[in-house]
Structure 1
Amino acid sequence: MKFTMKEEGGFKTQLPFGELHVSGNEEFGFRPYQLLISSIAVCSGGVFRTVAEKMRLHVTNIEVETTHERIDEEAGRVASVHMKFLISGTDLNEAKIEKALHVTRKNCSMVRSVEGSIDITESFEIV
């Protein structure tokens, strides 16, 4: 990827899906920490969906709510991310969902990329 400075602030890049604008100022693009947390949540959600399908869990919808903690004294470093999976489906088994989340953690490239730097936790609710 190639990022080009924008006159009003931030940077932009062209990707196959479209143009991405990134900036420390929300008026000019997505903030870097938002993209980091989004990457962790969406990667985890996608991997969970695949794992659930392989485990024959009948999931009809997944939402991932995130909360995070940043440390101002460390340049706003993201210290932790908690993901709450809201899972809809039929005949869902809590033990199988816990196992699927465990497999998800092991297979999500974004979670694996930040291991040891950001504390990642998960919970779930069947809705």
Structure 2
Amino acid sequence: MSHKITTVWKEDLIFESDNPNGYTFNLGQSDKENDPYKPLGPKATMLSSLAACSGLDVVSILEKMKVSLGDFKIEVEGELTDEHPKTYHTVTVDYHFSGQDLNEEKINRAVQLSIEKYCGVMDMFRQFAEVKTNIYFYNN
């Protein structure tokens, strides 16, 4: 399987990119307040892709385990090198789960399966960065 996207320069430092599903979004850099394009930064978008990839795994695994979630969020922080080309050298992925009577054992298992087996984006990140992960539970 392959993925193909098309990215088109719009103006200034703004690009419009599609994805294999046909949806479009803007990438680039803008200092304009209230920029109508609202571009996403390319490097930060990589961090969002990592979170979404792992999050999709975790949610689908927990659904199969019949585990319900209250709230679930993922925070990803990437540290860039000082020299050009600036790349992420360290990435920290924090999984936050909150709710009542959380099944921590099954949630931990779902996260580990994503980290170790299923998340292709995480595997790609490991090719160029140290990836650290943490899991946090909050019982309401």
Q: Tell whether the structures are fold-level matches, with TM greater than 0.5.
A: yes
- TM-score bracket, normalised by the shorter chain, equals 0.7 to 0.9
- Is the counterpart of residue 36 in structure 1 residue 7 in structure 2? no
Q: Give the Cα separation in 2 of the matches to 1:35 and 1:118.
A: 16
Q: Are the equivalent residues in 1 in contact too, given 2:72–2:96 (CA < 8 A)?
A: yes
Conservation of the 8 A alpha-carbon contact between 2:93 and 2:133: yes
Q: How many residues align?
A: 127
Q: Structure 1 pair 89/56, CA: closer, same or farther in 2 (3 Å)?
A: farther
The 5-angstrom pairing of residues 1-127 of structure 1 reads: 1-15=5-19, 16=21, 18-25=23-30, 27=32, 29-105=39-115, 106-127=117-138
Q: Gapped runs of 5+ residues in structure 2?
A: none
TM-score norm. by structure 1 comes to: 0.84
Where in structure 1 are there 5+ consecutive unaligned residues?
A: none
Cα displacement (A) at 1:44 = 0.9
CA RMSD of the aligned region, Å?
2.1
Partner amino acid for 2:26? Answer: H
- Give the secondary-structure state (helix, strand or coil) at the position aligned to 1:73: coil
Rounded to whole Å, the distance in 2 between the matches of 1:78 and 1:44 is 18
Structure 1 vs Structure 2: percent identity of aligned residues? Answer: 23
